[in-house]
Amino acid sequence: MAKQLHYDELAYYYDTHPTEEDLLGETIDHSTLIQYLLQVLTWLFEGQSCVVHANLNFYRSPYWKEHPLAPDIVVIKGVDFRRLRSWRVGETGPVPQVVLEIASQETWDKDLTEKPNKYAAMGVEEYFAYNPNERPLRRDGRRLFGWRLDRANRVMRQLPLEPDGRLWSRHLESYLAPDHADLRLYDRDGHLRLTRAEAEKQRADAEAEARRAEMRRAQAEKQRADALAEKLRSLGIDPDQI
């Protein structure tokens, strides 16, 4: 039997043994997109009480051999970051508000058919699934799907795509927009959500451009002053005596 030390220390079997999904592995597109979105979301919630985790096992009971849900990415508001091996809903902390699954050939069908119900049962409020693979996994070529929890009936309701193919996330306050192998996030004004590195580079580029503009203004002012001084000298006036 599992040894109950503390709710964070419950020895769940699948925290140390692979699940079926663990054995599938990840494609480059899959792992690259997860890392990118982790960086974007971490920077988006910088300074707030919020954690963003990838591939963390989530449990709903103290049964030591419960099969976990291990979303590619979760966003959990109202808690601070801790290094955890797994998360027991209601004990370790609250239910994730947002779950994102990045599809593979092997998981895409479950991502669209089984997981909405599983995440609804857990109480997840928004669930998004995205296919980054070079070849679309559906005949219609659709890559992005989203659901929002109907709390009264404890079921997920699928979200209709915007005319431009985007979906709005209330909790992320962002549009999710397909971009081939990438999934981009934009604010309401159409500005791309950045990673920390991108934001710092953007700020450094803006500061460098401001310095260059100031140098151009100073140079132009000096040229005007030199031209005026030369004009005064041509009139027999010493500009240094004015």
Based on the fold, state whether residues 182 and 215 are members of the same structural domain: no
Q: Which two tokens stand for residue 14?
A: 């699948």
Based on the fold, state whether residues 62 and 119 are members of the same structural domain: yes
Based on the fold, state whether residues 177 and 204 are members of the same structural domain: no
Based on the fold, state whether residues 71 and 50 are members of the same structural domain: yes
pLDDT > 50? residue 5:
no
Identify the domain containing residue 82 by its residue range: 7-194
pLDDT > 80? residue 88:
yes
Based on the fold, state whether residues 119 and 229 are members of the same structural domain: no
Based on the fold, state whether residues 90 and 138 are members of the same structural domain: yes
Residue 1 is assigned to a structural domain of this protein: no
Based on the fold, state whether residues 224 and 174 are members of the same structural domain: no
Per-residue pLDDT reduced to its tens digit, 9-46: 578 999 998 887 776 667 788 899 999 999 999 999 99
Based on the fold, state whether residues 181 and 231 are members of the same structural domain: no
Based on the fold, state whether residues 178 and 229 are members of the same structural domain: no
Whether 43 and 123 have beta carbons less than 8 Å apart is answered as no
Q: What is the DSSP letter of 60?
A: S
Based on the fold, state whether residues 202 and 189 are members of the same structural domain: no
- Into how many domains does the chain fold? 2
Residue 2 is assigned to a structural domain of this protein: no
Q: What is the DSSP letter of 14?
A: G
Q: What percent of the chain has pLDDT over 70?
A: 93
Residue 175 is assigned to a structural domain of this protein: yes
Based on the fold, state whether residues 142 and 124 are members of the same structural domain: yes
pLDDT category at 114 given cuts 50, 70, 90 is very high
Q: What is the mean pLDDT of the chain?
A: 90
Q: What one-character-per-residue DSSP string does 151-188 give? A: TTTTEEEEPPPPTTS-EEETTTTEEEEEETTEEEEE-T
* pLDDT for the residue numbered 7: 46
Based on the fold, state whether residues 109 and 229 are members of the same structural domain: no
CATH code for position 88? 3.90.1570
**Residue type (1 letter), 63:** Y
